[in-house]
Amino acid sequence: MTLDANDEAGIELAWGERLYLRFNAESNKLYIYAPFAPLNDAQDGQVLADMLRLNCLEVGTRGGVISVSEPMDAFVYHLGLPVETLKPDALEQAIEKFIEERQRLAQRFRQIRQL
């Protein structure tokens, strides 16, 4: 995989969704990130409270972080991986776990909206 001039790359998954990778030289981390829910559906305070609850100490996000991306107009799940410990097989496993967690968060978001 090759990062572009901004140290980023995008991956299109088989079912049409995309995830993104960004290298941060300052922290020496490779970040995996992807949107999981649109912001315009989250006007209910309960949705925002639940997202913050999941984000607390990264427990409900299994080590990742929920944030907001205005350019993507979405809630974004991201995970930072220390580059010094990252081997190709570890990256592949991290991406697989990331996809599972992102899907879990998207499902959780849909459940909250239905309440």
* Stretches in the chain below the pLDDT threshold 50: none
Q: Where are the domains of the chain?
A: 8-114
Phi-psi region of 16 (alpha: psi -120 to 50; beta: other; left: phi over 0): left
Write down the pTM of the prediction. 0.86
What pLDDT sits at residue 83?
94
Q: Give which of 71, 70, 73, 75 is closest to 112, Cα–Cα.
A: 75
What pLDDT sits at residue 62?
85
CATH level 3 topology of 8-114: Yope Regulator; Chain: A, (3.30.1460)
What pLDDT sits at residue 1?
65
Token representation of residue 113 = 């909206």
Which residues, 6+ apart, have CB-to-CB distance to 63 below 8 Å? 79
The DSSP-derived string for 46-72 is HHHHHHHHHHGGGTTTTT-EEEEETTT
The DSSP-derived string for 8-32 is EEEEE-TTS-EEEEEEETTTTEEEE
What pLDDT sits at residue 57?
81
